[in-house]
Amino acid sequence: MTDAGLLIDSQGRVLRDLRVSITDRCNFRCLYCLPETEAAHNFYRGHWAHLPNPAPIVQQWVPRAHILSFEEIERFIRLAVSLGIQKVRLTGGEPLLRHDVENLVSRIARIPGLTDLAMTSNGFLFPQKARALRAAGLRRVSFSLDSLARDNFRKITGRDGLDEVLASINLAQELGLHPVKVNAVVIRGLNDHEIEALADFAHERSLCLRFIEFMPLDSARAWLKELVVPGREVLARLQARFDLQPVPADNPSSTAKRWAFPGGRGELGIIAPVSEPFCGHCNRIRLTADGKIRTCLFSVTEHDLRSRLRGTAADEEIAGWLKSVVWQKEARHHIGEPDFVPPPRSMSCIGG
C-alpha cells in the first residue's frame, strides 16, 4: 500500500490503531470516570473546598437511536483497515453491556488485513460471554483492576465486583487469550499504597499489569494534578521491591514502558501521559459509540461520521473525508498546561 492510501497526519504519523467504543453505558461508577457515588464525592471533597460541579453528577447517556449499529461499525472498520489500520480495540463504557457483542466480534474478526482484535472491559460480565467471544475471534483482553482490597475496590468503582473481576482474569488465561492485561489507574491517597501488592499479583498470575497515571477525563471535572502519582515514582517503588528487567519496545507507538519479572513470569508497564507524554509517536484514532471520530483522547473537537454512514456517502467519499480528518490530528495534548481544556465528554463517552 502506498502512502497515498494510508491515514497520515500533518506530523507524518501513520495511523494503525483504532479504538471503537460500542456503548457509552457502564455498570461501574469509577471515581476517575463517572464519580457519581457518595464515596467518590467524599474523596474529592477532601481535596476541593468546593467541588467544581454540584453533587450528584449524573451521566446523560446518548440516545439509543444515535448509537452505531453493528453493520455501521463493521462498514467503518473495513474501510479503516483498507486505509492501513491494523489493530482494533473494542471499548465502552462497558462493551459487554452491548447485546450480542460476540456477533460484532465475529464480524470484525473476519475482516481481511486486520492483525489484532482486542477488548477492554471492567470484567464484571466477562464470565457470561468469555467463551462466545473467544470462539468469535477475540484475541486479547484487558481488564480494569484498581485495587485488590474489597472495600477500596468498591470505593473506587462503586460496585462490589472484585470477585467477578478476579474470576474473569483467571478465565481469560484459561481460554488462551494472550496476553491478558490488567490496567490500574493510580491515584494519590486512594490506591497508591497498593502499587507493590498489585505488582505481586501480576507476578503470581503471570499477567501484564499496566500502571496508568490519573488523567483529567472524569465527568465531575474534579481532576487535580496533585493526585497524579508520576510514572517515575511508581517505577522507583517497583524497582526497590522487584528485580525488573527492561523490555525493549517492539513498537515506537507503544504507550507503555515495560519491565519483565525474572523467568518471564509476568510483566509490568507504566503509562505516563501526564508526566511523560508519548504524543510524538501516537498512531491512534477513536470512534465513539454515537459515531464521532476523535483524533486524540483529549480532543475538544469531534468529527461526525454517523451522518455520512447513514446518508448517501459512498466508501470512497468517506475515505477521503477520513484522511482529511486524520490530517488535523493534534500534535500533542496540553495536560497540566495553563491553556489546557478538558474534553467535553468523559472517558465513558469517549472510549478507552
How far, in Å, CA of 138 to CA of 30, rounded?
25
| pLDDT for 49 beyond 70 | no
How far, in Å, CA of 95 to CA of 123, rounded?
10
Domains and CATH numbers, the chain: 3-350 (3.20.20.70)
How far, in Å, CA of 132 to CA of 140, rounded?
14
pLDDT computed for residue 35 by the predictor: 86
List, in sequence order, every residue forming a beta bridge with 118; answer none if it has no partner: 89, 140
pTM of the shown model:
0.94
Question: For 296-313, what is each residue's pLDDT tens digit?
Answer: 988 889 999 999 999 999
Mean pLDDT value of segment 39-54 = 78
Question: For 131-164, what is each residue's pLDDT tens digit?
Answer: 999 999 999 999 999 999 999 999 999 999 999 9
pLDDT computed for residue 59 by the predictor: 61
Percent of the chain with pLDDT over 90: 74
**What is the average pLDDT score of the chain?**
92
pLDDT computed for residue 290 by the predictor: 96
Question: For 158-214, what is each residue's pLDDT tens digit?
Answer: 999 999 999 999 999 999 999 999 999 999 999 999 999 999 999 999 999 999 999
DSSP assignment string, 96-146: GGSTTHHHHHHHHHTSTT--EEEEEE-SSSHHHHHHHHHHHT--EEEEE--
Question: For 221-246, what is each residue's pLDDT tens digit?
Answer: 888 899 999 999 999 999 999 999 99
Nearest partner of 114 among 22, 17, 23, judged by Cα: 17
